[in-house]
Amino acid sequence: MCKKIFLALSLSLSVFVIWGQKPSWTSSSERERSYPSQSFFTGYIEGNVRSGETVEEAKNRLLKDAQGSLSEKIRMTVKSETTSSTSSVKDRVDTEFSDKVQTSTDVEIVGIHSEASYHDTQTGIVYAFAYVNRSEFAGYHKASLNMNLTQTEGLLQTAQDLVAAGEKAKARQQCETAKALLEKVRSSQDLLTAISPGISSGDLQQTRTETIHNRLTQMQAQLAQAILVYMECAETNLSKQSTVLANKLKSTLSIRGCGFTDDRSRADFRINISATTRQLGDTSGSGYGFSTCYADVKVNMIDTRKNISVFQDEFSQRGIANNVNNNEIAGRNALESAASVIAEKISQWIE
């Protein structure tokens, strides 16, 4: 599966027009002399002004085409080098990030200087030229790689602090962001390997990357252990004791990765719920073919590590028993619906 490498930096464009004289870069021999392939990636396009198109519009269109040609050359270089360089693949620290780079043509190129917008008034031809210096290109990605590694270290430190504070859900989010940044690091390393043959492992910061990745893996394994919840739920359905809401909520939260404990001292969160149902309107069941009940619910969730309430709410949830005049079923449906509402409301803390 192809991955996109986003090589983002502001596009620097310069217009080079010499009245009465073609720019030197319109000559293939001059381009080869001034922009040798060992030092530059280049893209060159020439074409005519289309019907209904102004000269300026044609220049802009061909300039984009030249940049696209340049992007494609870099893409093919990365694809070719990462496919043939088995040692580069072997040196990667984790198979999860070891896919060969197969970039798409949707590539934004760093440090492009485009000498374009030249229109030969005698022939009507428009010329466009784009280039990027390999060393400047590599320098940008070395800096980007270092920046992403530094940000990843910061995210992992924040995740560690959140774990210590009992904020496992937020710590997981930090780890997911860190994982995405490591994927960008891998893309930069692959790109640098392709455009800078012989680049050292030090420049690629492979040891640092391995250390960070191992730390991330260990933290994710730690966080894979379920958030433990202690639940107290007092519920009745039309004055009869019930466990409908509690069972539904436990089932929903279990699917989302929560565990439950009967030991309050082990719990990350304690959830206190009270719920009662009441029927709506006439109890005679005289002809509408359905029953309606409301569940009146109070919920309080406490972070046991901080010993503070992180969520409180009171609400009423409707339940309907279709095609039968059965208030108990309507009340049960209201309690199940209320459980789903609670699960959504507390999801930011337990997922």
Q: CATH 3.10.129: does it fit domain 14-133?
A: yes
Q: pLDDT tens, 314-328?
A: 999 999 887 666 889
- CATH 3.30.160.150 domain range(s) in the chain: 227-350
Residue 257 has pLDDT above 70, yes or no: yes
Mean pLDDT estimate for the chain: 82
Q: pLDDT tens, 121-147?
A: 999 999 999 998 988 888 888 999 999
* C-beta of residue 223 within 8 angstroms of C-beta of residue 174: no
Q: CATH 1.20.58: does it fit domain 138-223?
A: yes
Q: What top-level class would CATH report for the domain 227-350? A: alpha beta
- Distance CA(191)–CA(100), nearest Å, equals 10
- Can you give the pLDDT at residue 120? 93
pTM of the entire structure?
Answer: 0.59
From residue 48, how far is each of 51, 163, 295 by CA, in Å? 9, 62, 72
Say what percent of the chain tops pLDDT 90: 51
Q: pLDDT tens, 274-302?
A: 999 998 865 544 456 688 999 999 999 99
- CATH 3.10.129 domain range(s) in the chain: 14-133
Residue 32 has pLDDT above 50, yes or no: yes
Among residues 25, 224, 232, the alpha carbon closest in space to that of 117 is found at: 25
